[in-house]
Structure 1
């Protein structure tokens, strides 16, 4: 007797099951019940239709009901919904949404592929929102696209930084909409670890996306036009995309008393069979085994659903095929970047208390001498004894996913890091280097296991005891201006052998370079000369990725309309650049660390003051590095941006200050800006109050105000809840003697052992004059630029972490640059 099989749900899982069943059994009666209109569509392509990258709606339809019915001889009932399951009598109750008719169907085998629905928690005000959307299917897509096309929103808030949230942010941005992205956790893209996600954080900010992390939604107001966050921050918006995750759609399974896990997913065995032997389940609605750690989990992705559909069909037809678990391999496009992961991340391994080692590398996507090579940031996690590969992550502009695919295959094939050394990929300069990044990961990990090198991670550096440790930076001198580590001395790699006598024997020695490779070479030199040392994994670049992203987020403007973009366009204080005519063009594409900065350094030395250098580079970190380099060398970064057409990062650098040769860069109709600068030298309460009253007054008159705090004035910027930071003996003495925060500042006159400040504060309160802390906050909120003198910080032992939010670090050159467009300069 022919089997009667009912499949609940279409798309990836259900449609794959039906097609495989028919190929295996021509005589089976196969009924597919789908509550929606579409049985097979490209759900991963939906955001790109909204963003108009996919130009025709019809391209989203993979198979129509008519096509699939005739091709596979299926009884497909779309707009029908299974309402309940009667396990004992092997029948289901179905509702026809076209006619509202309810009827029953018997089955021999039932397959559940109901998928997962977007989470929509009952946040106050959510049901009154008329501009809030979730994205799961084509009708959802139609609603969002209609709203964008007809209501033309200027601002959208995306809640949730997962795959859908990031893809919707990018595609709404492509439609010319300003984006705020809100994520309750500390990072976007949960499969990534924080330092890898930080690369994406910076990229989002570079694209003028306002990024709000570690802040959830507390309430919606004004029908969704206002969002109130847990922090109290309010966002005014025109539309909302809610993408905070999905939940298994398993109501009928629960009501049928099938075994579910605590999160509502259907529990299945290795053959995808449920607790009822006549019912199978698959896709986003089921709990499966994590291939790496062998623990039950839920991973709602398209590949597992398709694979499980084939396995279910095999087992219904008697093949006994096992599902071996899910790696969670995934890839996403985030604006210009590709993000790919496979296996377990560091967070998972820590949670499960699995011992692991982590490594970071930054190779090129292909041979550096062939045009178009871009650096890729890779992270791999592995067992420090056996070399078993636990997982890998990659972020870059090109060539990312193909390496993660190789690593996913290696994990599924139970290869170790030692086997990666023998992986033999295709090679030609346009596509690869003779030593593929996968090989490099294998070599690096093998060196660690075999004891040739010891490493320390980026997030352990700040915890080092500065009195007992020393970091040797082996980069070249010109690289140091792009950023360096505290407590480090500089000995270039080429000089290390001749300067071994300078290295103390009584300290723990750490070595670093830009990306870790030269650090490894240095560690081998030191080790073989009797000096024990540890290489900083991933170099300065990995450390700065994480730290710089945090700073970029803090530096964003707090309103939704204007976002500070330090990378895309560096605004000169007194210039309105309409056209930049470069005197010299430098192509640094494909050059690996430290190539681009080195070439800029060499070229600038040859140029005349006022001349402009146009630089093209393929390293995504170049835009940040060149800004730091210009700030430190007294040159001017006129503009930096990513050029989609040329697939390169382009920077325009003027030798010397911006005012050196204005005729080369400025249109004839330049209007000088009316700015104000204040040097705050004093640390007295009364002078601090006067400084901020003047600053806020100037800002309220439309002036661009810069306050440069030096020496005793730095005490004004200290935070009351400052964290504990490591200091040497002299720095600790300064710390004890100096005021701890603005509330402890003395008066310049009539201090009277602290009574004077208390009296002044009482009088200010009586006359409704804001206290100093409020004046500081108001000034920063009004856009006053608050700069702390880096030299004074070093002399007085004050660390950046001790300052309030919103303080920038700069030197005298930074302050003098601000005075160029200033009509008011005060020293207080």
Structure 2
């Protein structure tokens, strides 16, 4: 017996023979909808029910997932897309530190959701995917519900590194900067009662959280294993500037120091033991020592992972399994300058990957303009904006890349006597062979945020310092530096001098 309810096909039989069961199976396979079989023990009945199939299923709900969904629904309007995310509300990842002061400890001020995707006709399920069957092309949710797919995208993001090797890492009041709305909402409420906090990790998130908590009159000590904060992204010069600004913001900084143990009392944090033997009294510890790709499901699915645990993908986000792609923090990066596997977990990088992936899911329509990931970093500490892109002295030396550099400073308004003027410094790094710009840094006022994007574009388009010196810019006294002293152009001009007019270029 077969019947149809609201467009869905069903079939029910009393199984009297294997032949009958095989017959109904063949019937269901011929139906225009995908069918599954549920065994019913009573009278040996089998019930065949429809499983909804989508053109695309996206696992994840962060920036990469949202941009992938938006791109597909905008340019392929007839395609059905389902996003499966674990939490109803999300957070703007880079805005998390500012919840702790600037946003009034209110996580609701930093919420991010898939509304633009839904407005374009996308579907959302707030659930957890527990299994992916890559052969049958379906996903199973924690609830037991199953959905089929034509294309599957992993955009599962990243998770904070948990230092299980440190005794006491799991004591009460030991926290992590998770990209989770309920977790951060709870943390923001709890820190209001703390007098002293130790933050472990002096990268962007750790330093920014430290600055915000110090602004809330909390006694904050930041412990960093390197000699300077921000050292994995900035040059030694800019790292020193950033570390000093963090001190000016009221943060106690202990560099070249490791946490050896977290000591508790009544299962609650009391002391932090450092590698130099010192003990710090504290009410809480916040770890911010990096993020790792959230790829356990990908591993269980049978996707290939690289040595960092990221999903192995090609330059267009395609995995080694047909019709499965990945983008964002869970996917592998290749360094733009080195071509080597790299780890850059930034929302800007994730969304760039997602746009390319979204356009190309149904055939190659957009040629990727870059051959890898260029780390473009920016922050603001104690009112000082700082940013970097590409190569600097440290990472160029580690990669065996020769560079020549120059630095120029000028007011970011003209004349510099204008009330909101600040000194803007730009440092460029170029190849001594052909003058191509391969890196840059900027620090000063808020204009730094867009200055670094000009430098980033120059690197990605292989612009040389010889071209940069004739770069035409728009200027205005209230908005920009003087056309006579544009810091990017003047720094480029200094490198031209070193390459073309000096017998030996300065190679740092």
TM-score normalised by L of structure 2 = 0.83
Work out whether residues 111 and 181 of structure 2, in 8 Å CA contact, stay in contact via their aligned partners in 1: no
SS of the aligned residue for 2:457 comes to helix
1:383 aligns with 2:431: yes
1:167 aligns with 2:208: yes
Tell me the equivalent position of 1:114.
156
After TM superposition, give the deviation of residue 282 of structure 1 in Å: 0.1
CA 1:83–1:377 in structure 2 vs 1: closer, same or farther (change >3 Å)? same
SS of the aligned residue for 1:247 comes to strand
> Size of the alignment, in residue pairs?
447
SS of the aligned residue for 1:267 comes to coil
After TM superposition, give the deviation of residue 184 of structure 1 in Å: 0.6
1:427 pairs with 458, 471, 475, which one? 475
Tell me the equivalent position of 2:182.
139
1:191 aligns with 2:239: no
Rounded to whole Å, the distance in 2 between the matches of 1:408 and 1:401 is 11
After superposition, residues 719-730 of structure 1 pair within 5 angstroms as none
Tell me the equivalent position of 1:277.
322
Rounded to whole Å, the distance in 1 between the matches of 2:393 and 2:365 is 35
2:87 pairs with 5, 29, 36, which one? 36
Work out whether residues 376 and 398 of structure 1, in 8 Å CA contact, stay in contact via their aligned partners in 2: no
CA 1:164–1:244 in structure 2 vs 1: closer, same or farther (change >3 Å)? same
Tell me the equivalent position of 2:357.
312
CA 1:397–1:179 in structure 2 vs 1: closer, same or farther (change >3 Å)? farther
Deviations 1:185-218 (A, max 9, x none): 1221121011211111222222231111111111
SS of the aligned residue for 2:223 comes to strand
Rounded to whole Å, the distance in 2 between the matches of 1:209 and 1:267 is 39
1:92 pairs with 124, 139, 151, which one? 139
After TM superposition, give the deviation of residue 3 of structure 1 in Å: 5.5
Work out whether residues 129 and 220 of structure 1, in 8 Å CA contact, stay in contact via their aligned partners in 2: no
Tell me the equivalent position of 1:373.
421
Deviations 1:582-611 (A, max 9, x none): xxxxxxxxxxxxxxxxxxxxxxxxxxxxxx
After TM superposition, give the deviation of residue 280 of structure 1 in Å: 0.5
1:359 aligns with 2:406: yes
Rounded to whole Å, the distance in 2 between the matches of 1:69 and 1:290 is 30
1:7 pairs with 58, 77, 89, which one? 58
Tell me the equivalent position of 1:217.
259
SS of the aligned residue for 2:432 comes to coil
Greater helix proportion: 1
CA 1:376–1:43 in structure 2 vs 1: closer, same or farther (change >3 Å)? same
Tell me the equivalent position of 1:327.
374
Tell me the equivalent position of 2:488.
438
SS of the aligned residue for 2:202 comes to coil
Higher RCO (C-alpha 8 Å, min separation 6): 2
Rounded to whole Å, the distance in 2 between the matches of 1:347 and 1:85 is 42
SS of the aligned residue for 1:363 comes to strand
Work out whether residues 226 and 235 of structure 1, in 8 Å CA contact, stay in contact via their aligned partners in 2: yes
After TM superposition, give the deviation of residue 453 of structure 1 in Å: 7.7
After TM superposition, give the deviation of residue 321 of structure 1 in Å: 2.5
After TM superposition, give the deviation of residue 294 of structure 1 in Å: 2.6
Rounded to whole Å, the distance in 1 between the matches of 2:118 and 2:451 is 40
1:244 aligns with 2:289: yes
1:341 aligns with 2:392: no
Greater strand proportion: 2
Work out whether residues 131 and 238 of structure 1, in 8 Å CA contact, stay in contact via their aligned partners in 2: no
CA 1:63–1:256 in structure 2 vs 1: closer, same or farther (change >3 Å)? closer
SS of the aligned residue for 1:167 comes to helix
Unaligned stretches of 5+ in structure 1? 96-100, 461-828
Tell me the equivalent position of 1:264.
309
After TM superposition, give the deviation of residue 383 of structure 1 in Å: 0.7
Work out whether residues 334 and 340 of structure 2, in 8 Å CA contact, stay in contact via their aligned partners in 1: yes
After superposition, residues 757-768 of structure 1 pair within 5 angstroms as none
Work out whether residues 151 and 324 of structure 2, in 8 Å CA contact, stay in contact via their aligned partners in 1: yes
After TM superposition, give the deviation of residue 6 of structure 1 in Å: 1.0
SS of the aligned residue for 2:411 comes to coil
Work out whether residues 9 and 113 of structure 1, in 8 Å CA contact, stay in contact via their aligned partners in 2: yes
Tell me the equivalent position of 2:144.
102
Rounded to whole Å, the distance in 2 between the matches of 1:69 and 1:19 is 5
Rounded to whole Å, the distance in 2 between the matches of 1:382 and 1:269 is 28
Rounded to whole Å, the distance in 1 between the matches of 2:175 and 2:348 is 29
Tell me the equivalent position of 1:400.
448
CA RMSD of aligned residues (A): 2.2
After superposition, residues 678-827 of structure 1 pair within 5 angstroms as none
Work out whether residues 12 and 302 of structure 1, in 8 Å CA contact, stay in contact via their aligned partners in 2: yes
Work out whether residues 339 and 400 of structure 1, in 8 Å CA contact, stay in contact via their aligned partners in 2: yes
Rounded to whole Å, the distance in 2 between the matches of 1:221 and 1:377 is 44
Larger radius of gyration: 1
Rounded to whole Å, the distance in 1 between the matches of 2:499 and 2:505 is 11
After TM superposition, give the deviation of residue 111 of structure 1 in Å: 0.3
Tell me the equivalent position of 1:128.
171
CA 1:290–1:70 in structure 2 vs 1: closer, same or farther (change >3 Å)? closer
Tell me the equivalent position of 1:591.
none
After superposition, residues 23-102 of structure 1 pair within 5 angstroms as 23-38=74-89, 40-53=90-103, 57-63=107-113, 67=115, 70-78=118-126, 80-95=127-142, 101-102=143-144
Rounded to whole Å, the distance in 1 between the matches of 2:310 and 2:211 is 31
Rounded to whole Å, the distance in 2 between the matches of 1:206 and 1:71 is 45
After TM superposition, give the deviation of residue 76 of structure 1 in Å: 0.7
SS of the aligned residue for 2:488 comes to helix
SS of the aligned residue for 1:378 comes to strand
After superposition, residues 381-780 of structure 1 pair within 5 angstroms as 381-430=429-478, 431-434=480-483, 435-452=485-502
2:191 pairs with 148, 153, 157, which one? 148
Deviations 1:735-790 (A, max 9, x none): xxxxxxxxxxxxxxxxxxxxxxxxxxxxxxxxxxxxxxxxxxxxxxxxxxxxxxxx
Tell me the equivalent position of 1:203.
245
Deviations 1:406-446 (A, max 9, x none): 11111122101111101122222232112210111111110
